[in-house]
Amino acid sequence: MVIGQDEVKRRLGTKTLYFQPLFVGYPSPDKKVCLNNCSHPVSKPAEINSYIMKLTKLKSALLILGLCGTMTLSPIANTGHAAQSPIAIAKQLNEAFVQVVEKVSPSVVVVKVTQKRDTSGRLQQFRGNPFFEFFEEEMGERFRERLEERQRQMPAPQGQGSGVIIRKDGYIVTNRHVVEDAEFIKVLMQDGTEYKASVKGLDPESDLAVIKIDASNLPATGFADSDKTRVGEFAIAIGAPFELDYSVTIGHVSAKGRSIYASPDQFDADFIQTDASINPGNSGGPLVNLDGKIVGINTMIRGIGTGIGFAIPSNLVREISESLIQHGKVTRAWLGIRITSLREEPALRRQYKNVKDGVIVTDIESEGPSAKSALEVDDIIVAVEGKNVATVQQLKNQIRSKKIGAPLTLTVNRSGKSQDVKVRPGELPSMDELRRMSMRGRQRGNTDIGEKIGIKVEQLNESLARKNGIESGSAVVVTEVAEGGPAESNNISAGDIITHINGNRTSTLSQMREAISDADLEEGIVIKLISDGSKKLRILRNR
């Protein structure tokens, strides 16, 4: 029989690196075995196997040499792909942006708003004018009706923003400030189709709104997990700035967790910062990633053309929009406390050296849910239901969606020891009620007195001690507050009871004087006090 080169290669296999005997018996006596097209005839199995072994060793050496050459001379060739030029790579990135925009744009809408006319404001500007008062008295109701009719005939104020479809059945998320006080809302799609829209719910605390159009099978865009969004990622904004519909700008996620309050009513302030250009008209439009998912809803800017814009994170948008769709409003949980982050206060970090991160309780509202719990002023909250918190907004985010009245566990550091405290959250009061609570203690003593921190104090008497549930003589009480001093600027008022300064007990006037003399306003003075029955913590420093 004859074994040619192809047969040898087939038997050896292209990846065989070792010798495997091919014959176990002798060939027929009248036949010889030929290798390499009979250029090397052999007749014994040993000779056949010896020849094949030589071929195997040669093949192994060539293969190893080839691998070494591949790794040494051409790293890219080892992957099976040719090297790409910088221009080719740039074109691929360019195509990625184009594909994202083409995917998302059909779900972006232009929100056109006709505002309600305010006829009362037109009349109000004439009040106090003798000429107006004369005619109003002479012509009475007739004059007023004509003025109001003229106001109604004037063009109604117009506004425009952006939005994005989040459900195929016509639900659109936008900013609250885009559609608030709107008389008519019109939604313009990318293909030119127009729909009349109605407001399903507004949430001033987050500046979000959900509107609805009567349509189905619409192109909706999904949400990304904003917690997993990383600083430095590409970000694409799509909207209608300056009435330039469907404008696209590209930038990056510049920062996360920005606590920028857009209005006094804004409770949720945890923004994504981006340098993708955002301008008036972008409000309510999406900020998306390279997967075409919403990472935020564009809501405000810091100066036109500065490259500093802010978007509401997608996780908050999803939570708020679902609540508005289901209930028409958002109900937030509330602990009834004021807090500050250890990260933000050097004076606190010096005092609580054994705690790396957390938020310290500075106030416990006497009317709030925490007043009924074991939580105390000076507690450092480090976790909510086992999830770590390090900033004020992180704590708000963890508490906001908790069930009203259901117990939750706060892990706190108290006097250097970790312990769990159970609190039953209440419903967040209205912003007016919160402001009333905040202003309640500011309307008391303002006598210009005091030196270092701007207060005068006396030993706590038995009556005040009994009223506040503490022992007589165990603290000092503020009797006067200097106008414009550090104490007044931190809302310390006459009648407040000071129990500690920089962690030192102030049971007596002498202890108070000693604590104040050792304190430094440049570094910050930490004061624990009781005000209107609520425990509070204040940090005084020169401003």
Residues annotated as catalytic (active site), given as ranges: 177, 207, 283
Q: Identify whether the C-beta of residue 225 lies closer than 8 Å to the C-beta of residue 313.
A: no
Phi-psi sector, 485: left (phi>0), alpha (psi -120 to 50), beta: beta
Q: What is the dihedral of CA 483, 487, 492, 494, to 10 degrees?
A: -50
Three-state SS for 310-359 is EEEEHHHHHHHHHHHHHHCCCCCEECCEEEEEHHHCHHHHHHCCCCCCCE
Specify burial of residue 327 (Cβ count, 10 A radius: 0-12, 13-18, 19+): exposed
Let me know the angle formed at the C-alpha of 394 by 389 and 398, rounded to the nearest 5 degrees.
90
Give the DSSP H/E element, type plus range, for residue 527. Answer: strand 525-531
| Residue 263 CB coordination number (10 Å) | 13
CA 377 – CA 278 distance, rounded (Å): 42
Largest CA distance in the chain: 141
Residues in CB range of 370: below 8 A, 6 or more apart: 335, 336, 337, 361, 364, 423
Dump strand ranges (E) for 101-166.
108-115, 158-165
Tokens of 49: 């196997």
Whole-Å CA distances, 158 to 180, 182, 187, 192, 386:
12, 9, 14, 19, 49
The DSSP output letter for 461 is P
Task: Report residue 58 CA to chain centroid gap.
Answer: 64
10 Å CB burial of residue 353 (0-12, 13-18, 19+) is: exposed
Q: Hey, what are 36's tokens?
A: 């390499």
H-run or E-run covering 95:
helix 86-104
